Amino acid sequence: MIELMSRIDYSASAGTTLWHRASALAKLIVAVALVGLAVFAPGLRLLAVLHALAWSLALSSRLPARLVAAAAFYPLAFTLLFVIGRWDGGWRTPLTLVLRPLTASLTAVWLVGTTPTPDLFAPVSRLLPRDAADALFLTYRALFELLGRTERLWRALRLRGGGSGPARRRLALAGEGVGTLVLYGFERSQRLVATMGLRGHSGRICGCRHYAEWACEDLAVAFIGALTLMSAALLWRAG
Amino acid sequence: MHLHIPDGVLPPLAWAPALAVALALFLWSGRARTGTRVLLAYQGALGALTLAAMAIEIPLGPLEYHLTLIGPLGVLLGPARAFQVLMIVNALLALLGHGGFTVVGLNALVLGAGAALARPAYRALARRLPPPASLALATALAQGASGILWLGVVSYALRAGGSTPGAAAPGSRLGLVAGLVFPMWLVGIIVESLVAFGVGRFLARVRPDLLPAPRAGVGASEGREAA
């Protein structure tokens, strides 16, 4: 998952497709519509069309194929539990159960793989109370630093024999490793707040305003949005 | 146990009220500004640590277990802030396809319920037991509670059908699913508790002030903040 997060984040900032140039707000609206319709779609035909749209979005964003596959197929393992639990001998229920989460996860990959995360958070943070919005940005800010640190700690633990011995000892040692990360997180937060204060932090992290800067590429997003709504209007009762 | 229920497998009656309740709790916990900026940054760091810990793979024979850390999170931050962190963590995971958007609220509520139990349990236990054992037992309680809630949600989903109205599940195999999930739940409780034991052992040795005080009242970390 570490690699997945880092690579998606990198692709969102470094990509050059028209989806990358489109505004975050437009993509967010289309993604919400696609996921919402996929979840509520009453029939397989509409679901299949929405699924095809989600695939076309994910593939046209030129994200690495392995990345798309890893993120898109992750929900399948969990969905399998529901497929087993709700098996009725037919193919419609399992197919519906598989297509819905797949469509949603493909849409999510497209959205986060083409939109830098701060742009994605900025519109959401305007709707949230100050502390909650700031916590969102601060978690994201701390994430990649801690991911790297966790990876190094884990490697060091294994090299120094932390991966051998009985499970009880290994897990307690892993816990001590997590303890060092808790301590690091606490000390880091003190430094961060001091640094923000020195730089004249106004008391609220606002994020950037790129998310609402409309571009001509938004027409493509609007086209996909129109296609989604048209499919829903035509196929809602088609079964 | 990870709770990555994807979109479209639960009936709206299960996820929609949960999303509304979770959003209301999230907004309330965001407005109840009781902490300083340092505590907010600490909360962000622990949220990031929760995500990072989920990336750690602990090999258990043929399986690999991913940590959730809801016990230590609940003990260190308290119920309101831990819930806020879990809501953010679940939203970030949903963006990566790990759990659905519609079930962010439900996932946060189920994990948050476990985290909410952790601090009171820790405080009660710490009167008699040393911090590592208290943290481990509080984590076991948190993990057990959220596992039971998770199974309740899954059972309801299997009985009620998917998100298509009227699509009941004629062949619901709840027993089979429970049989598959129960051993994982037990493994989850043991692994998380042992890891929490290590966290408690380290913090008690190096920075005991980060752990809440055993008695009822203001925790040490909050006391530090007030100072």
Contact between B25 and B89 (Cβ < 8 Å): no
Residue B5 domain flag: no
- Cross-chain Cβ contact A131/B42 below 8 Å: no
Give residue A202's pLDDT band: very low, low, confident or very high (50, 70, 90): low
Average pLDDT over residues A160-188: 85
Residue numbers of B between 147 and 206 with CB closer than 8 Å to A: 154, 157-158, 161-165, 167, 169-174, 176-177, 180-181, 191, 194-203, 206
Choose among B31, B41, B51: nearest Cβ to A192: B41
Interface test with B, best of A1, A84, A153, A237 (most B CBs within 10 A): A1
Residue B1 domain flag: no
Number of domains in chain B: 1
Residue B4 domain flag: no
The H or E element containing residue B60 is: strand B57-60
Q: Which amino acid is at B180?
A: L
Chain mean pLDDT for chain A: 85
Interface test with B, best of A44, A45, A144, A171 (most B CBs within 10 A): A171
Average pLDDT over residues B134-138: 96
The three-state secondary structure class of A15 is coil
Give the whole-number percent of chain A exceeding pLDDT 90. 28
- Cross-chain Cβ contact B48/A142 below 8 Å: yes
- How far apart CA B206 and CA A2 sit, in angstroms, is 28
Give the ranges where B161-213 is alpha helix by DSSP (H): 174-206
**Tell me: the pLDDT tens digits for A6-60?**
788 888 888 889 999 999 889 999 999 999 999 998 889 999 999 999 999 999 9
Cα angle B11, B9, A3; round to 5: 140
- How far apart CA B121 and CA B116 sit, in angstroms, is 9
Residue numbers of B between 116 and 135 with CB closer than 8 Å to A: none
Give the CATH number, domain containing residue B130.
1.10.1760.20
**Tell me: the pLDDT tens digits for A55-99?**
999 999 998 888 888 877 778 877 887 788 777 778 888 898 899
Residue in chain A closest to B82 (alpha carbons) equals: A135
Decide if pLDDT at A221 tops 90: yes
Q: Is B69 left (phi over 0), alpha (psi -120 to 50) or beta?
A: left
Residue in chain A closest to B60 (alpha carbons) equals: A167
Looking at residue A193, its pLDDT comes to 78
- How far apart CA B86 and CA A76 sit, in angstroms, is 23
Residues for chain B: how many in total?
A: 227
If one counts every other C-beta atom within 10 angstroms of the C-beta of residue B217, the result is 10
Decide if pLDDT at A215 tops 70: yes
Output A158 or A4, whichever has higher pLDDT: A158
Residue B61 domain flag: yes
**Tell me: the pLDDT tens digits for A91-144?**
888 898 899 999 999 999 999 999 988 888 888 877 877 777 788 888 888 887
Please state the φ and ψ torsions of residue B66, each to the nearest 5 degrees.
-110, 130
Residue in chain B closest to A127 (alpha carbons) equals: B27
Give residue B168's pLDDT band: very low, low, confident or very high (50, 70, 90): very low
Looking at residue B223, its pLDDT comes to 41
Q: Which amino acid is at B187?
A: V
User: B215: domain range?
Assistant: 12-226
Looking at residue B53, its pLDDT comes to 80
Contact between B46 and B106 (Cβ < 8 Å): no
Residue B219 CB partners (closer than 8 Å, separation 6+)? B78, B119, B211, B212, B213
Please give the C-alpha separations between residue B95 and each of B49, B76, B91, B102, in angstroms, as whole numbers.
17, 26, 6, 11
- How far apart CA A178 and CA B58 sit, in angstroms, is 13
- How far apart CA B142 and CA B121 sit, in angstroms, is 9
The string over A171-180, giving b where at least 16 C-beta atoms fall within 10 Å of a residue's C-beta and e elsewhere, is bbbbbbbbbe
Tokens describing residue B180:
């598959």
